[in-house]
Amino acid sequence: MSTIKVLANDGIGATGKELLEEKGFEVITTRVAQEQLISFINDKSIEVLLVRSATKVGQDVLDACPTLRLVGRGGVGMDNIALQYAKNKGIPVINTPTSSAPAVAELVVAHLLTGIRFLHDSNRNMPLEGDHKFGQLKKSYSGATELRGKTLGIIGFGHIGQAVAQLALALGMKIMFYDYHPEERRITVPFFDGQEVHFTIAGSTLNEVLQQSDFITINVPAQKDYILGEKEIAKMKEGVGIVNAARGGTLDEAALVKALDNGKVAFAGLDVFESEPTPEIRILMHPKISLSPHVGGSTNEAQNRISEELAEQIINYFQ
């Protein structure tokens, strides 16, 4: 069998690359610009294309690249791939729905902790004013709250939502969730010494989650419409905190800014944005928003898990 060429256009972890190369695959990690992708695939006779969120695999790529036999997405969401069109052409599309979940969940909790302790704002102002307004800043950031004993509403209870629940339970929070599959879920919280604590959590309606949660996190795939807009925010508790580490377009940013300005929402944590990769200045500069540049799954450990899972699926497919 001739060597199968794999283009990992958005990178691949060392573990997965080694696994593939041990099995005789040629792994190319050259970063090819979107407008040059088709010609590169054809010139190099690429059979497997691996992407994350940066590279788009649209109908144009699938039609113009007859050597492509398999497309892989490192991560969960596949909105940057013409999924159904690929299936219709007989080109399988694989992804890694579990590998990035722990990393995304930790970022969600990081934004929650950052928000309740005003770290996003104090880290902006301490370098500028900490030497001459220390007491004033201390007073400004003293009215914090705690997560323990509070209710976290999780919208979307797949792998990532459940990973968020594990961490929140470990912090002493109560969990509510809304999902298209509302049946009870068993959540296991593991500890370093092998002990585990098990929780059974039943699904709630969206209205219940909105009305009863102290904090709300969005953990759903890309949607056609907002999950949280002005109408949904109006149903929330006063002073709620919102975190979106899912997809831009699931949260109405105009409604969010309005609610932040009038105090309905105390803070927000955003890893994804409606106008990504050029978020609006009013979002980037808002003192009540904790920000990160779509890095939910971007830990060394997650990237190695993702690459390993992709490599195993590729090897199994060609064997």
pTM of the model: 0.89
The residues annotated with a catalytic role in the active site are: 247, 276, 294
Mean pLDDT of the chain: 95
Does 177 share its domain with 270? Answer: yes
**Residue 165's pLDDT is what?**
98
Which of 166-175, 242-251, 295-304 comes out lowest in average pLDDT?
A: 295-304
CA separation, residue 170 to residues 163, 164, 199, 219 (Å): 11, 10, 11, 19
**Residue 78's pLDDT is what?**
86
Can you tell me the mean pLDDT for 124-153? 96
Please check the confidence at residue 164 and state whether its pLDDT lies above 60: yes
Does 115 share its domain with 235? Answer: yes
Identify which of 163, 154, 257, 144 has the alpha carbon closest to the alpha carbon of residue 210: 154
Residue 2's pLDDT band (cuts 50, 70, 90): confident
Provide the angle, in degrees to the nearest 10, between the axes of the packed helices 300-318 and 14-22: 20
Separation between Cα atoms, residue 188 and residue 304, nearest integer Å? 23
Does 253 share its domain with 173? Answer: yes
The values of phi and psi at residue 29, to 5°, are -110, 15
CATH number, domain with residue 123: 3.40.50.720
**Residue 209's pLDDT is what?**
98
How many domains are there within the chain? 2
Please check the confidence at residue 146 and state whether its pLDDT lies above 90: yes
Does 168 share its domain with 287? Answer: yes
Does 13 share its domain with 37? Answer: yes
Does 276 share its domain with 128? Answer: yes
Which residue range is the domain that position 200 belongs to? Answer: 101-291
92 cis-preceded (ω within 30 degrees of 0): no
Cα-Cα-Cα-Cα dihedral sign, residues 279, 280, 281, 285: negative
Residue 191's pLDDT band (cuts 50, 70, 90): very high
Does 130 share its domain with 61? Answer: no
Does 170 share its domain with 279? Answer: yes
Separation between Cα atoms, residue 238 and residue 261, nearest integer Å? 12
Separation between Cα atoms, residue 85 and residue 95, nearest integer Å? 16
Separation between Cα atoms, residue 98 and residue 306, nearest integer Å? 8
Separation between Cα atoms, residue 61 and residue 58, nearest integer Å? 5
Question: What is the DSSP track for 161-222?
Answer: HHHHHHHHHHTT-EEEEE-SS-S-EEEEEE-TTS-EEEEEE----HHHHHHH-SEEEE----
Does 91 share its domain with 106? Answer: no
Does 147 share its domain with 232? Answer: yes
Residue 1's pLDDT band (cuts 50, 70, 90): low
